[in-house]
Amino acid sequence: MATISVDYGALAAGHDGLVATWSRIEGHLAELETVVGGTSDMSAEALRAFLALKQRWSAAAQDRQVALQGLAALVKEAGEHYRSVDAALAAQFT
């Protein structure tokens, strides 16, 4: 017979870690935007090159954020599902 073991704390920590990761990324992007926005001594060519690169990076970051948020939601959902199954099985023995 197979045994299924679930670590609810690890599932919760995994969800929280993913949420914290996307929050940190958003914070870094906002900081970068502020620093570059305050830079007036960049040449027009350098600024255009930076903005083009930033646009590509931002699009990739948005995709990464969607993936992280989806993964975090699935980890949380898995933990909730395991808890409900565990509670239903435990109720059979009371």
Q: Quick one: pLDDT at residue 18?
A: 86
Return the percentage of the chain with pLDDT > 90, whole number. 16
Q: Which two tokens stand for residue 94?
A: 């009371």
Question: Has residue 33 got a pLDDT over 90?
Answer: no
Q: Quick one: pLDDT at residue 65?
A: 84
Whether pTM > 0.75 for this model: the answer is no
Query: What is the pLDDT of the chain when averaged over all its residues?
Result: 84
Using alpha carbons, list the distances in angstroms from residue 32 to 27, 37, 39, 84.
9, 8, 11, 43
Nearest CA to 57 out of 73, 43, 36, 76 is that of: 36
**62-80 per-position pLDDT tens digit:** 888 889 889 999 999 999 9
Question: Has residue 40 got a pLDDT over 70?
Answer: no
**Lowest mean pLDDT across 24-28, 33-37, 54-58:** 33-37
Q: Cβ-count burial of 75 within 10 angstroms (0-12 exposed, 13-18 middle, 19+ buried)?
A: buried
79, amino acid identity = G
